[in-house]
Amino acid sequence: MTFQPEDAIPIALDLLADSYRQKGRQMSAFLTHLIKVGWVEQCSFRQRNNDFALRTAHDRQSFLEYMERQFGNNWQTSLEQGETREAFLTQHLISPLPGHIHSRVVNAIWGDHSKKQASTPPGISTRDSELIQLRTRMECQLHFAGRIINCRDDMAFSDAVIINETALGKLQSIQCEAPINIITVENAGAWQHLPLPENVIALFVPGNNQKLALKLLSFFPDYQWCHFGDLDQKGLDIAASLARAQNKPLKLLIPDWWNDYQPHFKLGIKQGKIAWRKDICPQSRKYAQHPFINSLADDAKWMEQEAIVLDSRLLDEIRRLFDSDLPG
């Protein structure tokens, strides 16, 4: 299907700049074609405004390639129109660009807005200012290019070892006394107050944001692992995802006495929270048939991990958990 430049290019330039507003009731054949292909969608909350925009950064790139095939490499200047985003950026962005750019900046400049994920343009890599946080009483050293962090020193100063994403990219090796036992913790409050046996590393892993944690874990040659999270469907899913990523059997910290907290601390599943599925834990028969978890699921209730972190029995529970090798 072919279109005349004077019909297609003005619409294309508006779409690349931000959005195109259809004037009148009759939609142009070119815009209809773009919607049918799947590159463009209606973006206004008010249908009568008839605003349309490119859907994703990938669609934007495909659309640019299409316009070049149809109207040549200089199609954006072939008609007297306003400046495009690409032309504007070429004039005003610093050169060379940083080696790593925060993903929110990439989304804002090359996508729709900072909080909507965009495809990273060729030649650009993203690195966010995220942190990895751990607590331990073990003798453990992190060896970076040009620096060694002694975990006991950092723990004595701030009760935590905190490394940002840039520094983690310079990590070369980890030296720890054996055996190495690692417990990943879903929520910050529970991680901060979790009692620490002498041979355990507590690693904060906020929900499904697991990239930095998994990178750090890859430096440990051999370790036992378990996860401590909320007793809800999302908590089980997070734990199962971590187990798959590490190629380890699923192992959860669920003290038998946690069930005693139910009358006082169980919570209802409100709108917006992930409900229990029928198959609550397909990765592990042990936890799929766990009586406490199933009783919560049957009652449409859930339990927060923070409620038990100050229990006097928790320290011994963690010790016993790593002293045993429970099958997944």
Which pLDDT value is given to residue 27? 79
Q: Is this structure's pTM higher than 0.85?
A: no
- Other Cβ atoms less than 10 A from the Cβ of 260: the count is 12
Answer with the residue of higher pLDDT: 122 or 199: 199
Which positions ≥6 away from 43 have C-beta within 8 Å? 19, 51, 52, 53
Reported confidence tier of residue 203, pLDDT bands at 50, 70, 90: very high
Q: How confident is the model at residue 135 (pLDDT cuts 50, 70, 90)?
A: very high
How confident is the model over 59-73, as pLDDT tens digits?
A: 888 998 898 888 887
Report how far residue 32's alpha carbon sits from residue 141's, in angstroms, rounded to the nearest whole number.
Answer: 61
Give the end-to-end CA distance of the chain in Å, rounded to a whole number.
Answer: 57
CA R_g for the chain: 27
Flag whether pLDDT at 313 surpasses 90: yes
Q: What is the DSSP letter of 310?
A: T
| Burial class, 5, CB count within 10 angstroms (exposed 0-12 / middle 13-18 / buried 19+) | middle
Residue 273 CB partners (closer than 8 Å, separation 6+): 232, 234, 302
Closest CA to 129 of 92, 160, 98, 94: 98
Say what the pLDDT of residue 49 is.
60
How many Å separate Cα 157 from the centre of its chain? 30
- Residues with Cβ within 8 Å of residue 58, at least 6 apart in sequence: 119
**Is cis: bond before 96, omega within 30 of 0?**
yes
Amino acid at 230: D
| β pairing state of 51-54 and 131-136 | unpaired
pLDDT, tens digit (0-9, with 9 covering 90-100), for 210-263: 989 999 999 998 899 999 999 999 999 999 999 999 999 999 999 999 999 999
Highest mean pLDDT among 72-76, 77-81, 194-198, 320-324: 194-198
Q: What is the pLDDT of residue 78?
A: 59
Q: Tell me, what DSSP letter sits at residue 231?
A: B
Q: Is the pLDDT of residue 162 over 90?
A: yes
What is the band of 82 on the pLDDT scale with cuts at 50, 70, 90?
low
